[in-house]
Chains A and B, each alone.
Chain A
Amino acid sequence: MHLAHNEHDLHEITRRCHAIRMNGIDSELLTPQQIKQRVPMINLNARFPVLGALYQGRAGTARHDAVAWGYARGADALGVDIIQNCEVLGFEIQNNEVKGVHTSQGLIRADKVGCVAAGNSSVLAAQAGLKLPLESATLQAFVSEPLKPMLDSVVTSNTVHCYVSQSDKGELVIGGSSDPYNSYSQRGGFDQIEHVVGPMAELYPIISRLKMMRQWGGTVDLAPDRSLFSGNPPWAICTSTVAGAPAALKLRPAPETCSPIRWPTAGCTRSLNRSGWNVLPAANLSTKARPPALPTN
C-alpha cells in the first residue's frame, strides 16, 4: 500500500495504477476510508494528510534472510560453489575480454563474470576498469519490539519517506530514505533516524512509545534515477542494487544461452556465509534475464 499525501501524489499513483494494470497485474486505488479499514492504526489527519493509496492486494513481503538463503541454495543446487572468506583482488583481462578473477585463494578462470556485490558493485567494476552509473549510500532500517498482529500490509510513503511492515515474529520493520551522502561505512547518521521515526510517529501515533530493538545501516548502490539500467557490453544488465539485487558485469556479448558457471572446488569450503563479502556468481546470465519488452500497441 503506497500512500498519497497531496494532489500530485494522487495523480502519480493513478498513473502508476494504470501502468501496472496495462501490464496485466491487478492494482487498485483506495479512498482514505478504505485505507482506515485495512490499517486501523493510521492517522489520516497527519501533518501531511492521507488522501488515498495505491494498493496491490496480492503483493507482500518476502523475508529478506530467506530470500538470500534461497538464492544461495538455488545457486548451490545448480552446481555453483560458494567460497567464503575469499576476497576478489582483480580481474584477469586479455584483449579486452575477461578471462578470470584473481582472488585471495588464487585465480579462478571464467569467460563470464557475474558481479553481485550489493553496495560494492562499482568498486568491483572499477577493478575491471569500468565506471558504473552507481553511487553507494547507507540505508538504515529499524526493528521494533514484538507486538500482537496489527498490520497485515506493507505501507509505504514517498512523500513523508517512511515504510513499515510487520514481521511474522510481530516486530515492526521500519525504514526510510537512504542517508544523503555517499558512504561505505555501514553506519547511519543520527539525524536520519529522526527523519524516519518522526513521520512514523505522526502517521501511526499508536507506536510513538514503541522501543526499537535493532538499527543498522547497509550499503546500497543507487542509480541516478533509482531504476534498473541495461545496455550494451561492457555491462549487460544492472539493477539498482538495493541490498544485493544482482548486477551482471560482462566484458563481451553473451551468447543466447550459457550454462551455470562452475567454480573449482579443490580446497574450498562450501558452507554459506551469513555476512561480509561473498563471492557469489550469478547462476545464469542469459539474455533471457532481461526484463520483458513493453507491449508496442
Chain B
Amino acid sequence: MLLIECPWCGQCEQSEFQYGGEAHLNRATANSNDAELSAFLFLRSNVRGDTAERWFHAAGCRRWFNARRNTVDDRFICTYKPGHSAPQETTDA
C-alpha cells in the first residue's frame, strides 16, 4: 500500500494519509445506555481480511473518504466518497 487513491485527488503517496479506523459505525446517541456507548467507543470488528475503513488525506485535500482494504496483504480494493456504502465490485486501486 505505497499508493492510495484519494477519490478527489487520485493516487498519492501513503505518507500523505492518516488512518481513521473502521467505517460505517452507527454513532451512539443521547439515548444510548452505557453498554451501547461503550460498544461504540471501544468495540471494533477488527476484521482479518476485506474491511471498510476511513482515511484522511491529511497532506492533500484534507478530506475524509472511505476505503475497502484487505488487512492481510494491505492491498486497497477500492476507495469511495463518504456517505456512500461500500462498492461490492473489486477493482484494483
Contacts and interface: CB of A to CB of B under 8 A. Distances in A.
Contacts of A132: 43, 46
A183 B42 contact: no
Interface stretch (A39-47, A54-62, A133-141): A133-141
Interface in A123-170: 123, 126, 131-136
A184 B43 contact: no
Interface in B34-58: 39, 41-46, 48, 51, 53
Given A182-B71, A185-B71, A185-B73, A224 B41 contact: yes
Interface residues of B, number: 21
A181 B19 contact: yes
Interface string A157-195: 000000000000000000000001111110101110000
A265 B6 CA distance: 54
A135 B73 contact: no
A189 B42 contact: no
Contacts of B74: 183, 185, 187
Contacts of A27: none
Contacts, number: 50
A181 B47 CA distance: 12
A182 B46 contact: yes
Contacts of A181: 19, 53
B19 A190 contact: no
Contacts of A120: 48
A191 B58 CA distance: 15
A122 interface: yes
Interface string B1-37: 1100000000000110011010000000000000000
A189 B4 CA distance: 13
Contacts of A191: 14-15
B45 to A, nearest CB: 7
Contacts of B41: 224
Interface string B50-93: 01010000000000000000011110000000000000000000
Nearest to A120: B48
Contacts of B18: 180
A226 B70 CA distance: 24
A187 B72 CA distance: 9
A135 B73 CA distance: 16
Contacts of A134: 44, 46
- Which one of A131, A181, A183 has the greatest number of beta carbons of chain B within 10 Å? A181
Contacts of A183: 71, 74
Contacts of B48: 120, 123, 136, 184
B14 A189 contact: yes
Instruction: Name the 7 nearest CB pairs between A and B, nearest first.
Output: A181-B19, A133-B42, A122-B46, A131-B43, A191-B15, A185-B74, A123-B48
17 contacts: A120-B48, A131-B43, A131-B45, A132-B43, A133-B42, A133-B43, A134-B46, A135-B44, A136-B48, A180-B18, A181-B19, A182-B19, A182-B51, A184-B72, A185-B73, A187-B74, A191-B15
Interface of A: 120, 122-123, 126, 131-136, 180-185, 187, 189-191, 224
Interface of B: 1-2, 14-15, 18-19, 21, 39, 41-46, 48, 51, 53, 71-74
Given A182-B19, A183-B71, 5 more contacts: A126-B45, A131-B44, A134-B44, A184-B48, A185-B72
